[in-house]
Structure 1
Amino acid sequence: MGSSQSTQILNEEAESEGEEEEEEDVNGVLNNRRTELDNLLVKKVLEQEPEMLPCHASASPLSPQLSSLGTPRIGPSIKVWDPYNVLAPPLFSHDRSAVTQVYFISHGECDLNLRPDLIGGRCHVATLTPNGKRQARALAVFLNSEGVRFTSVFSSPLDRARSMAVSVCQEMNFPEEHVQSSDAIAEMSFGDWEGIHRSEIYTPETLSLIERCQPDFSAPSGESLRQVEFRMVRFLNGLVSGLSEKLRSEHLSSTTHHNHSRGFSLATSIHRPSLTRKKSGKSRFQVMNTTGDHESNEEIFNHHNDEQHLGHINIKSPSSQHSPCIGVFSHSLPIKCLLTGILGCSPVMTHKICVEDSSVTVLQHSWKTGWQVKRLNDTAHLRLL
C-alpha cells in the first residue's frame, strides 16, 4: 500500500510539473509574440510621417510651427515641431557661461500720444514730438554714463522708433547705417480700425466681444495679442540663436586658420627655430584656441561681412569676456507682449505691465538660466530733463 501511494503521488507531481512547464512555454510564446507586435508597431510609428498641421494667423505660440533652428527629429522619421527652440541644443557650446543682454527701448513721445481719442496702431505718419526727441537725447546720455556699448542695434521700421534709434545711436557713436530694421518688433496692427475715433469702434457690444475672445481677438486685417507675443518671442530667440551660430562659425574658422598657421610654423621652425607668428592688430574678434597651445591662446582675424547682422562683438578669454549687448527700439505694447511670453502668462496680462515712453527694459540670457528680466520700465534718464 505504501509503495503504491508513493508512486501515485510521484505521478501526480510529475503531471503538475508538466502542466506548469506547458503553461510557462505558452506564456513565453505569448510574451514573445507581444514583444514582436510591439516592435512592429514601434517600427511602423517611426516610419510614418506626422500630420502637417496648418499654421493659422491666430495660432498660439505653442502651435505647430517650423523651428527657426530647423526641425529636430526623434528617431529616424518622427519630426518634432519646436517653435520656441526648447528642444534644440545650443548651437555654440564653446563657452556656456556667455551672457547676452538685450535692451528693449520704447520710443519717446510721439504725435499719437497727443491724440488719445484715436486708435493709433502702426500709423506710419506718426513722428516724435520735440519732447520725444529730448527724451531720446537724455536716454543716450544716461546709457553712456552707465558704460553701455551696443554690439548691434535693431529698430522697428516705423518712423517714431527709427528716429529714436538713430538719435540715441548718434550720441553713443554707433553708426547709423548699422541700425537694422525688423518688422518683427513693429507696433501691433489694428488693421482697418487705425485712425478711427475710439468712440466709433469701442461700443459696449464690441468691448464685450473683445473681452470674450482675448487674447485671440484681432481687428479686421489686424493682429491679436497672441500673434504679437509669438513674433516678439521668436525674434528674441532668433537673436541668441543667430549670435551663437555666428560665434560658432567664427570659432571654427579661427581654429582652422590656426591649424594652418601652426603647421606652417612647425615646417619652417627647422630652419628658423626662433620664428614667432605675428598677430595682426586689426582684429574685431578674439577667440580662445582649443588645441592646448598656450603660447597662442587667441587667434585674431578680420571680419568684413556680417550676414547675420549682429554687429561687432568682441569675444575674449573667459576671465575678461565682454558680454554681447543688443539694443532693440520698439513700442510699448509689443514689449509688454514679449514680457508675458517670457514670464509664461497669458497675453491678456499686458494691462498689468507698465511700459512708458522712452523706458528701458533689459533682458538677460545665459544657456544655464535662459531668459530673465533684469530691469523693467526704467525711466531714470527722464530726471535729466
Structure 2
Amino acid sequence: MGAVNSSEAESTDELHQDPEAAPCHPSSSPLSPQLSLTRGTQSYLGPLIRVSDPYNILSPSNSSPRVHLSSRLQSMSNAASPQWSPSSFRLTGDHICTEIHFIRHAESSMNAKPELIGGRSPSATLTSLGKRQARALGVHLRSAGTEFDVVYCSPLERAMQTAHAVCQELDIPRETVEVTEAVQELSQGQWEGRNRCEIYTSALVPIVNSTQPDFRAPGGESQRQVEYRMIEFLNNVVIPRASSTLQKARLQTESRKHLNKIQQASTLVHPVEDMDISQAKVWEESDLSSESNFKPLLRQKIPNSMSSSSLNGSPEELHSDVSSVPYTAAVISHGMAIKCLLRGLTGSDPQFTTHWCIDNSTVTVVRHSTRKGWEIQRVNDTSHLRLL
C-alpha cells in the first residue's frame, strides 16, 4: 500500500494533478446512473437502459426499486418544424425504424504511433493508407447500394477527411455533412501525446481498471461521460429527426395516393356523358350504375400505368412499405467513442471497451425500432478492406 501511495505522489509531482474518477450525478439522460434506495451510502446501480421503452412512454412501475428520471427532448433543428414529443409519433400501427452506421475514421498519423496516447489529438490527419481505406469504404458502400439520409461527423480533422472521402464516392455534397461535437473522441486531457509506458505504470493500471467507467485522465473525460453524450445525441437528435422525416414521407405518400384516386375517379364519375342515348339508357337500367358495382368498375377501367396500386400501393401496403423502410444515418466517429456507446446500449461490464476491437474505417451498425428498441446489427465490419 505504501508503494502505491509513493507512486501516486510521483505522478502528482509530474502531472500536477491526480487522475480522478469522475463523479456520477443523475442526469436526464435515459442512461443516467440511478441512485440506490438503500439507506446509508449512495451507491449507483449503473445505467438504466430502457430498451423496450426508448422514449419513456411507459410510466414506471410502483414496485420498481429504482428512481426513473424523464429524458429531455430537444426541438427539431428546423425552426419551421413543430417541437418533437413522444406522442407525436405514437400513431396506431406505426413502426419507425432508424439504422445508424457508425464509421470509425480511417488510419491517422496518431494511429501509426501506438506507443503514444492519442485521445482527441486534433492535429492528427489521415495517412496514405488511411486515405485509401476511406475511399475503399465509399466504393464498397456505393456498390452495396447504401444510401444515407443524413451524415454526421466529428469535428476532428481525421474524421472530416474520412467523411469527405466517403461522401465523394456516394455523390453526397460535402457541405451537407453535419458536424457535431457529440460524437468526437474521448479526451485524454493532459495525457494526450505522452508515452503510454510513462503514464500507465504497474501502480496506476489497477486503479484505472477498478474505477471504470468513471476514471478520467487529468483534464480529460471518463468513458461514462462519452457514453452519455453519445446516447443523448441519438435520443435527442437522430431518433426525433428520423421520426419526423418518416412521418412526413408517409403523409406525403398518402396525400399523393389520395389525390391520384380523386383525379382518376373524376374522369369516370359520369361515363354516361361519353355514350349515345341508347347506350346511356342501357347504362341507367343496368346494375352497373349502382354504387355497389361502381367502385369495382373503376378499378377495371383505370390503366395499370395510372392505377393507385401501381403508383403507391394499397393503404395496407403503403403503410407497411413506408413504416418499414429505415431512416439511415451515417456517423463518422472514433474508436473509443463507439465502444462507449455499445457498452451503454448493451449494459455490458465496464471492461467491455478493452475486449472489443473497432478498427480504422470499419462500420458498426445499430438499429432502433419503436417496436423492438435498440439492436446491434454489425460490429467492426471490415468488408471494404478487401478492395485494398
What is the TM-score with the length of structure 1 in the denominator?
0.63
Corresponding position: 1:333 with 2:336: yes
1:216 is matched with which residue? 214
Give CA-to-partner distance per residue, 1:141-199, whole Å, 9 cap, x none: 11111110111111111111111011101110112111101111100011121122222
C-alpha separation between the residues in 2 aligned to 1:160 and 1:366?
31
TM-fit CA distance, 1:236: 2.3
SS of 1:177's equivalent?
helix
SS of 2:375's equivalent?
strand
Matches within 5 A, 1:80-91: 81-83=69-71, 91=89
Kept in 2: contact 1:103–1:363 (CA 8 A): yes
Paired amino acid for 1:242 = R
C-alpha separation between the residues in 2 aligned to 1:370 and 1:56?
21
Kept in 2: contact 1:92–1:245 (CA 8 A): no
C-alpha separation between the residues in 2 aligned to 1:141 and 1:256?
37
C-alpha separation between the residues in 2 aligned to 1:363 and 1:180?
19
TM-fit CA distance, 1:135: 0.4
Q: Give the 3 Å change call, closer, same or farther, for CA 155–95 of structure 1 in structure 2.
A: farther
The structure having more radius of gyration, on CA atoms, is: 1
RMSD: 4.3
Q: Give the 3 Å change call, closer, same or farther, for CA 132–94 of structure 1 in structure 2.
A: farther
Kept in 1: contact 2:31–2:231 (CA 8 A): no
Q: More displaced, 128-137 or 342-351?
A: 342-351
Give CA-to-partner distance per residue, 1:204-259, whole Å, 9 cap, x none: 22222212211111111211111111211222233123321344467678989999
2:374 is matched with which residue? 371
SS of 2:138's equivalent?
helix
2:244 is matched with which residue? 245
1:311 is matched with which residue? none
2:320 is matched with which residue? 318
Matches within 5 A, 1:70-219: 81-83=69-71, 91-93=89-91, 96-219=94-217
Kept in 2: contact 1:155–1:330 (CA 8 A): yes
Corresponding position: 1:344 with 2:343: no
What is the TM-score with the length of structure 2 in the denominator?
0.63
SS of 1:104's equivalent?
strand
Q: Give the 3 Å change call, closer, same or farther, for CA 316–231 of structure 1 in structure 2.
A: farther
2:234 to 233, 236, 245: 236
Kept in 2: contact 1:341–1:347 (CA 8 A): no
SS of 1:365's equivalent?
strand
TM-fit CA distance, 1:374: 1.1
Give CA-to-partner distance per residue, 1:22-59, whole Å, 9 cap, x none: xxxxxxxxxxxxxxxxxxxxxxxxxxxxxxx96579x9
Q: Percent identity?
A: 38
Higher relative contact order (CA 8 A, sep 6+): 2
TM-fit CA distance, 1:325: 1.3
TM-fit CA distance, 1:93: 3.1
1:227 is matched with which residue? 225
Give CA-to-partner distance per residue, 1:323-351, whole Å, 9 cap, x none: 22111111111111111112121332111
1:355 is matched with which residue? 358
C-alpha separation between the residues in 2 aligned to 1:113 and 1:273?
74
Q: More displaced, 88-97 or 137-146?
A: 88-97
SS of 1:112's equivalent?
coil
Matches within 5 A, 1:21-60: none
Kept in 2: contact 1:161–1:330 (CA 8 A): yes
Kept in 2: contact 1:156–1:330 (CA 8 A): yes
Q: Give the 3 Å change call, closer, same or farther, for CA 73–142 of structure 1 in structure 2.
A: closer
C-alpha separation between the residues in 2 aligned to 1:367 and 1:56?
23
Kept in 1: contact 2:34–2:68 (CA 8 A): no
Q: Give the 3 Å change call, closer, same or farther, for CA 206–252 of structure 1 in structure 2.
A: same
C-alpha separation between the residues in 1 aligned to 2:136 and 2:98?
24
2:40 is matched with which residue? none
C-alpha separation between the residues in 2 aligned to 1:198 and 1:252?
55
Kept in 2: contact 1:185–1:334 (CA 8 A): yes
Q: Give the 3 Å change call, closer, same or farther, for CA 54–112 of structure 1 in structure 2.
A: closer
2:15 is matched with which residue? none
1:312 is matched with which residue? none
Q: More displaced, 126-135 or 232-241?
A: 232-241
2:44 is matched with which residue? none
